[in-house]
Chain A
Amino acid sequence: AQSVSQHNHHVILSEAASLELGCNYSYGGTVNLFWYVQYPGQHLQLLLKYFSGDPLVKGIKGFEAEFIKSKFSFNLRKPSVQWSDTAEYFCAVEDTGFQKLVFGTGTRLLVSP
């Protein structure tokens, strides 16, 4: 069965620092890839998604992610974080044809002003 690993459980950064959150999945078939964000007290919101095409995808709020098929990875990046990026970030994978998301355990990001 598909599984998703997020190796960084907690990340603390200062404002303007660069961010990279790792995400690896286990099954190498055709997949759809997502990053969701959950701000404190709010519901999960889609940050960005990859279905096909250019492996470098851009999302909201200056986030981007790169799909590297050979490494089964979909890492999230942002060149300069803001205090308002403090949230929990979840990577999710959908095996095409299976119609459900498999989530990683999440990474809590704290950005200090």
Chain B
Amino acid sequence: DTGVSQDPRHKITKRGQNVTFRCDPISEHNRLYWYRQTLGQGPEFLTYFQNEAQLEKSRLLSDRFSAERPKGSFSTLEIQRTEQGDSAMYLCASSHPRTGLTGAEAFFGQGTRLTVV
């Protein structure tokens, strides 16, 4: 499968624990995005990378959240001291910008469902 891959698919953790999710984008895509989706809502933007550079972070991304893309390939999203409000589906997407043009189709992974108990 050459799509966007996320691991794990499900994670249950106790409040206060740290969790880390991984995303492997489509190999030739240089942009990588993290979104969060809660029940009844559409995905909400968290952050994005162009290669290894993190170019934008949403205000939704508190200090407990950190994302990395160390070699411009896979990315990790870490949540420290998890809270019940962090329970959500965390989606990763990747895209490759159209040469000389704006906009690009984002390809989404299946997501990591986090439950904080």
- The interface of chain A, by Cβ under 8 A from chain B, is 4, 6, 30, 32, 34, 36, 42-46, 49, 51, 90, 92, 94, 96-97, 99-106
Contact = CB atoms under 8 A, between A and B. Distances in A.
Interface of B: 3-4, 31, 33, 35, 40-45, 48, 50, 55-56, 91, 93, 98, 101-103, 105-111
A101 B43 CA distance: 9
14 contacts: A43-B108, A43-B110, A43-B111, A44-B93, A44-B108, A46-B105, A99-B48, A99-B50, A100-B45, A100-B48, A101-B35, A101-B106, A103-B44, A105-B41
Given A90-B43, A104-B42, 18 more contacts: A4-B42, A30-B102, A42-B110, A43-B108, A43-B109, A44-B91, A49-B103, A51-B101, A92-B42, A96-B102, A97-B102, A99-B48, A100-B45, A101-B33, A101-B106, A103-B43, A105-B40, A106-B41
Nearest to B107: A46
Contacts of A44: 43, 91, 93, 108
B39 to A, nearest CB: 11
